[in-house]
Amino acid sequence: MAIVEMNKFTLFVFSETREDLLRELQRFKYVHFLDLKENEKIKEWGLTGIDVEDALEVVDDDLHKLMFSINELNKYTNRQNIFQKVKNGSPSLSFEELGKRAITIDFLSFYKQVRKLVSQKEHILYKQNQIKAKIELLTPWIPLHVPVELLYSIKTCDVITGRIPKRFQKKVELQLASSQYTYFSIIGEDQDFAYLLSISDRSETEHIRKILKAHEFTRITLIGSEEPKETIVKLKKDFQEEQKRLADLKNQFQQLTEKLTDLEIVYEYYQLKKMRLTATKNYVRTDYFNIIEGYIPKKLADDFQKRIEQKCGDDYYLEMREAGKNDPNVPILLENSRFARSFESLTAMYALPKYGEIDPTPLFSIFYLIFFGMMVADIGYGLILLVGTFGALKLLKLTQQQKNFLQFFYYLSYSTIFWGIVYGSFFGDLIPLPSLINMEEQYNLLLVLSIAFGIMHIFFALGVRGYLAIKNGRLLDAIFDAGFWFLALGGGIAFVASLFLSVPPSIEKTGLVMMVIGMIGILFTGGRNSKSIGGKIGGGLYTLYGISGYVGDFVSYSRLMALGLSSAFIASAINMMVGMLFKMGIIGIIFGLIVFVVGQAFNIFLSLLGSYVHTIRLTYVEFFGKFYEGGGKAFQTFRSDSKYIHIK
């Protein structure tokens, strides 16, 4: 349960063996390369990097084609196949099998087929959109029982067709009615517009146009030669023909999905190839050999050297040494128990530890488990979480990252059930259960319990701060930065508690003495790093003022009570509504069941989300803020997690 110890290596190999060696190191996986082009000594020696830009461009282009093909074919994958893939997990291939299969697959021919089908589909969809637009244009004109060609062929008059906003319809009709040589008719209407036909003697055309223009008239030229209704019938037939062509294309796409796994194999192969090329950019070269530098886990050093010997024989030079504790370039790889490993993502989300620091994951994981369960605190919710995660872990083939995510909530489900038993909560008050703490009546006890957990959490963090100081040989820092705070806070809590509770006078006096000693110690040592007397005094006063921050920290833990209460009361309110609906007969029972399922599901979501976020807040601010700095760089393995194929 710690940060994995690292060795730093420097490797000289001949240029012609580089590619074979990189393949072997990629199989090895646990190599983190350094960018030697940024090394000042390397710059002084005048060594140059290895140019792989052209090769990278080719690989990126191939990956783009592969992703295009895979994404398009995935749209036509059978749902049953998708379920089977989720259930059975990704296909597994060894590193060698992946390479052998990939080079036999002509993915470019698949790409060309997919590209051709996609172009045909886009053309069909474009035509269908055009047909829809024409139908939409003609639909309001269906009542017009005159062939469009005949309508526009009138020589002695001007024919105007278009639409006006309905708010102007009556006004326009009145003004047009005053014309002597104009026929007009409202052919059709929709929610916003009236569709108008106007046939005018040319002597009145200009007058008619002015009337229409003044009322936001939009001219519409009808399409086709027949009556709008007959044209629409033909357009719908054309649309159905295009729909048949689209269905035929769908069948062709579905036939190509049989080759989807082949494309995924090639994709993974090229991803590995791209990673090798990208890593090569970090190396420098002379006319004959390449220089490679990086880090490997110390426990894998022998295996690392054996693999180099297998590919290079005696033609290499390797220097390995333990990474320095203060080396800022050492990458961080965490190694924890199965339980703590599930919480590593929270550590990484805040900041990985530095190489000489402590891994906080095992330290906060127990507190996170307790606090999360205390906020959700429902047997029913915990059982749903337990069954769901356990079933997924047992039935589905998952990546390690997916397993860690599900195990995280799997462990949290036990704490949720435990606190549900403490509070006697099963989907709120759905089933009356005995409880150790009555949430409706003993909320003061809940508040005290929440703050007590907060005191334990913060004191534990201070203890870790003191331990780290002692571990690094700074005994006085442990006394000044942890010991005095223990006295000040512990004594202060005992003294304040004695003012409200009946306790022996000795506890009150002891608490007061401890608090005063601690505060004096903080005052005189808080600014010890300042050079001037004024700085030391000011620093001490400012550090002592930090006690007020601890008071705020303790109060922050009241959210353990607040979220638990809110979750229980919302669940109870849902149950109350369901009970009222159940009294209304069969219809009420049906709606009641719907309200129960939807309402409780929504409350579960809110409870889990709120508890997840607020427990992170307590961890990052109140816990990490006392001892943890972070800032480490993640160890970049020489083989990323595969997307489609599990590489054994």
Count Cβ atoms within 10 A of the Cβ of residue 399 and give its class: 0-12 exposed, 13-18 middle, 19 or more buried: middle
The position carrying tokens 């698949």 is 110
Per the listing, tokens 């038993």 go with 421
For the segment 63-87, the average pLDDT, to the nearest whole number, is: 79
More confident residue, 528 or 221: 221
Q: Half-sphere exposure of residue 24, counting CA atoms within 13 Å on the CB side?
A: 15
The whole-angstrom separation of Cα 576 and Cα 571 is 9
Residue 632's CB is within 10 A of a number of other CB atoms, namely 23
* Alpha carbon distances (Å) from 279 to 59, 282, 295, 317, 638: 14, 6, 13, 19, 8
How far, in Å, CA of 486 to CA of 482, rounded?
Answer: 6
Q: Are 424 and 408 in contact (CB under 8 A)?
A: no
CA dihedral of 334, 335, 336, 338, whole degrees rounded to 10: 110
Mean local confidence (pLDDT), 245-272 = 92
Look over the chain and give the mean of its residue pLDDT values, rounded to a whole number.
89
Smallest CA-to-CA distance from 638 within 241, 273, 348, 236 is with 273
**N-terminal to C-terminal alpha carbon distance within the chain:** 25
49 alpha carbon, distance to own chain's centre:
36
Question: Would you place residue 585 in the very low, low, confident or very high pLDDT band (cuts 50, 70, 90)?
Answer: confident
**Which range among 73-77, 538-542, 548-552 has the greatest average pLDDT?**
73-77
Query: What tens digit of pLDDT does each residue of 160-199 get?
Result: 999 999 999 999 999 998 888 899 999 999 989 999 999 9
Q: Taking a C-beta distance cutoff of 8 angstroms, is the pair 498, 512 a contact?
A: no
Q: Tokens standing for 76?
A: 């036509």
Q: How far is CA 8 from CA 41, 294, 298, 306, 320, in A?
A: 17, 6, 9, 16, 6
Cα–Cα dist 490/484, whole Å? 10
Comparison of pLDDT for 135 and 642, the residue scoring more: 135
Task: Tell me which of 88-102, 372-386, 624-638 is least confident.
Answer: 88-102
Compute the distance between CA of residue 462 and CA of residue 481 in angstroms, rounded to an integer: 8
Q: Which residue has the higher pLDDT, 492 or 272?
A: 272
Q: Which amino acid is at 33?
A: F
pLDDT on residue 82? 54
What tokens were used for 345?
């993502």
Residue with tokens 């269906």: 142
79 has a pLDDT exceeding 70: no
Query: What is the mean pLDDT of the segment spanning 512-517?
Result: 86
Q: Among 360, 364, 356, 361, which residue's Cα sits nearest to residue 474?
A: 356
Ordered alpha helix ranges (H), 257-295? 260-280
Cβ contact 514:487 at 8 Å: yes
Residue recorded with tokens 């319990």:
449
Instruction: Reply yes or no on whether the pLDDT at 535 is more than 60.
Output: yes
Q: Pick the residue with more confidence: 82 or 460?
A: 460
Where do the domains of the chain lie, and which CATH numbers do they carry? 153-221 (3.30.70.2750), 336-442+560-633 (no CATH), 445-556 (no CATH)
Gap between the Cα atoms of 270 and 43, Å rounded: 32
Q: Do residues 161 and 222 make contact, with C-beta atoms less than 8 angstroms apart?
A: yes
Tokens of 134: 């024409």
pLDDT tens column, 596-632 = 999 999 999 999 999 999 999 999 999 998 889 888 9
Confidence of residue 453 (pLDDT cuts 50, 70, 90): very high
Residue where the block lists tokens 């049953």: 80
